[in-house]
Amino acid sequence: MSEGNGQAKNGGGLHWVGTRSIRPDGVDKVTGRANFGADFFMPGMLTGRVLRSPHPHARIRSIDASKALALPGVKAVVTCDDMPDIPAEEAFVGEGPMNFRDLSRNCLARGKALYDGHAVAAVAATTAAIAEQALGLIEVDYEVLPHVIDVEAAMRPDAPVLHDDVFTQGVDPAPTRPSNVAKRVQTGHGDLDAGFAAADVVVERHFTTKPVHQGYIEPHACVASVSEDGQTTIWGSSQGHFMIRAYVAKLLAMDISEIRVIPAEIGGGFGGKTLVYLEPVAVLLSRKSGRPVKMVMSREEVFRATGPTSGTAIRVKIGAKKDGTITAAEAECKYQAGGFPGSQVHAAAMTGFACYSLANVRIIGWDVCVNRPRCAAYRAPGAPMAAFAIESTVDEVAEKIGIDPIDLRLKNAAKSNSQSSYGPQFREIGYIETLKAAKEHPHYKAPLGPNQGRGIASGFWFNIGGESSAAINVNEDGTAVVATGSPDIGGSRASMALMAAEVLGIDQARIRPIVADTASIGYTFLTGGSRVTFATGMAVVESAKQVVQQLRERAAKIWDIDVDAVEWKDGEARPAGSNAGRFEPLSLKDLAAMAGKTGGPIIGRSALNAQGAGPGFGTHICDVEIDRETGKVTIVRYTAVQDVGKAIHPSYVEGQIQGGVAQGIGWALNEEYIYGDDGRLQNPGFLDYRMPVASDLPMIDAVMVEVPNPAHPYGARGVGEVPIVPPMAAVANAIYRAGGVRMPDLPMSPPRLLAALDGD
């Protein structure tokens, strides 16, 4: 069932942490029994559908739903008039600062439609066909306005302005005219002029990236049911059911206690399911119709209306001495926010040069509104685009100096106790270890064939902790349930069971890990930021320690000795030394069977705000082969080295690394949102939006470097986001080595590469 290959971070033996146990949700998923967001049904349930703007930018003069409401089978129509017009208020509920007014207007447009696909109204009807028909009967009077998609075009003074109340923050003097530029941010330190003056080589380049979608297989879906007394239940898949509860309460002016959210299995999120789109609308429709309402997006709706990443324009300038010392580095990052302010340009400014220890560094970022869906988080949100630009430039600096690209990185690498490019000192980090492991890997020295090239790139992500709750209930037969509030999007249930098994000293197969609903477990921040194994894992470990303490107390009662004379070892209570007396060990099963006689059920609970999530670094090696006649790029070999702290479940960690690399390769080579001159998205489907499939990729070799995080009981670091940061630059640098052309614009699709090879 399992293979034990784990070693404790301090050298002691671990029984379960570090093993490759069978995933507890695996059978249901491969047999189709698992319930995802769209699988839930209720008696009398209606089907909800959304009317979406066909215009990228339009004033909504009026909405007339009378004909739709007259259609037999239509039970409710809602517009923004059914939602409270809430004031601007910014708070952290999801993946980043969120203005609740903007979120409300993203769920149902108020006054203006800001992108092709923006929700304008919604219908609930007895069948999907009637609901679709009703959408066609809703009359919306639009005044079509000029639109802008490109980030640099949106920054121009003559660009169409999306919001008349957005004035650029972070600049002096404060502007008196509204614009699409919502914010300027800056990080860095030192003297750039002096740094560049000291350089022997200076490279300055301009890069662009296209918006890409997270591409989760499962579309957004939910069921909402509002009772006559207002009690509301929502079933749905997301990265945070507590996030859904908080957003719905805020947007609909409800008490949190009125809302219960029950999590479904989730078919991928990658950051894109850290917002609400359908849930408040489904609640409104259910409240208005008096019936449960199910809403499921089509793939086209997912592309047109849910958050992709930012498209970007980035300028990078790096200066270095002949010995490889980087003397100065700067970047300017312009990030599309979509229809509302709030791109992840902050993260770009903080992560861009984080792999390097630099005396003189600066990144300026601009958050820019454009007529596209509001951007959402996507794995290390904001970081991959900046890394593409900066790691491509670092590669060119290494080439100009004539130094191995890994050696250049080793010479300038961030290390424990060095000052980060964004300010504070790093604590224990393992970037150098990833560089050394990459350099020593057989892949780095393997011969290349004709038209092949090898690229290197590194990446960084913060990782986070945060609020988590967990409970462990010991069953009467000595098995146990581990309940947490963290949706399992990356195998966290298996990791929770392993950590509980380690503390309890029982077989992990005797532990059933579940994701509890919002009424059954304490508040838990969403699954994102690579936090769950770290933070929720700490809550599970604390809960298990409480269980062990109670088990020792029960044994002490049975033996009539002091609890300090009882130790817990290998899943048994034993006398702690010969002075404690002679007693036969009592197993967890024995003690569970006697729980009623010794004090009642045995339950451990923990709620905490975990701090000290260790940052993660990765270094990737990519081999490509280019077809000079078609421009097609084939990934021949790929090795991803990452500091994972301690791999609690190595197979899942490898899976996270492989998944991040696969998504990064898609971002590098093919994926992009394509808009027509009319501002409408032209490729809202997987046929035209080309994500990599298994046959496009080689086996991705995940190499785990373990530099333990001292803040976690077993040394875990987050692992889910770092692996998407380096691939675009690794691929671009490999293409350069194969074809002799630098590719500053993503995606590096066949037509683009062919044009570059032809010198166009």
Partner 1 sequence: MARVVLGHELGRLAGGDKTIDVPARNVRELKAALVERYPQLAPLLASDGLAVAIDGDIVPDAFLEPLRPDSEVFFLPAIRGG
Q: Which residues contribute to the site for partner 1 (CB under 8 A)?
A: 90-92, 94-97, 170, 172, 185-188, 214, 270-272, 274, 346-347, 350, 376-381, 417, 422-427, 461-464, 466, 528-531, 609, 611-612, 711, 718, 721
Residue 212 DSSP SS3? coil
Q: Which residue's CB is nearer to partner 1, number 463 or number 606?
A: 463
Query: What whole-number distance in Å separates Cα of residue 139 and Cα of residue 121?
Result: 10
Question: Cβ of residue 692: shortest distance to partner 1, in angstroms?
Answer: 19
Q: Which residue's CB is nearer to partner 1, number 138 or number 249?
A: 249
Question: Cβ of residue 173: shortest distance to partner 1, in angstroms?
Answer: 12
Query: What whole-number distance in Å separates Cα of residue 174 and Cα of residue 171?
Result: 6
Partners of residue 143 on adjacent β-strands: 59
Q: What is the DSSP letter of 615?
A: P
Q: Name the nearest CA neighbour of 39 among 267, 242, 349.
A: 267
**Residue 613 backbone zone (phi > 0: left; psi -120 to 50: alpha; other: beta):** beta
Question: Cβ of residue 230: shortest distance to partner 1, in angstroms?
Answer: 28
Question: Cβ of residue 417: shortest distance to partner 1, in angstroms?
Answer: 8
Query: What whole-number distance in Å separates Cα of residue 182 and Cα of residue 167?
Result: 6
Question: Cβ of residue 393: shortest distance to partner 1, in angstroms?
Answer: 22
Q: 746 and 667 in contact (C-beta within 8 Å)? A: yes
Distance from the first to the final alpha carbon of the chain: 57
Q: Which residue's CB is nearer to partner 1, number 94 or number 117?
A: 94
Question: Cβ of residue 499: shortest distance to partner 1, in angstroms?
Answer: 21
What's the gap between Cα 7 and its chain centre?
Answer: 29
Q: Which residue's CB is nearer to partner 1, number 525 or number 568?
A: 525
Query: What whole-number distance in Å separates Cα of residue 273 and Cα of residue 277?
Result: 9
Question: Cβ of residue 92: shortest distance to partner 1, in angstroms?
Answer: 4
Question: Cβ of residue 200: shortest distance to partner 1, in angstroms?
Answer: 29
Question: Cβ of residue 686: shortest distance to partner 1, in angstroms?
Answer: 21
- Between CA 552 and CA 556, with CA 555 as vertex, the angle to 5 degrees is 85
170-206 exposure pattern, b = at least 16 Cβ within 10 A, e = fewer = eeeeeeeeebbbbbebebbebebeebbebbebbbebe
Q: Which residue's CB is nearer to partner 1, number 43 or number 424?
A: 424
Query: What whole-number distance in Å separates Cα of residue 283 and Cα of residue 234?
Result: 8
What's the gap between Cα 457 and its chain centre?
Answer: 21
Q: What is the DSSP letter of 669?
A: H
Other Cβ atoms less than 10 A from the Cβ of 656: the count is 26
Q: Which residue's CB is nearer to partner 1, number 247 or number 559?
A: 247
Q: Which residue's CB is nearer to partner 1, number 97 or number 740?
A: 97
Residue 214 DSSP SS3? coil
Question: Cβ of residue 91: shortest distance to partner 1, in angstroms?
Answer: 5
Q: Name the nearest CA neighbour of 283 among 306, 318, 307, 254.
A: 254
Q: Which residue's CB is nearer to partner 1, number 344 or number 392?
A: 344
Q: Which residue's CB is nearer to partner 1, number 94 or number 292?
A: 94
Q: Which residue's CB is nearer to partner 1, number 461 or number 667?
A: 461
Query: What whole-number distance in Å separates Cα of residue 565 and Cα of residue 575?
Result: 6
Q: Which residue's CB is nearer to partner 1, number 272 or number 324?
A: 272
Question: Cβ of residue 419: shortest distance to partner 1, in angstroms?
Answer: 9
**β-pairing verdict for 46-52 and 293-296:** parallel
* Cβ within 8 Å of residue 596, ≥6 positions away: none
| Max Cα distance, the chain (Å) | 87
**β-pairing verdict for 312-320 and 326-338:** antiparallel
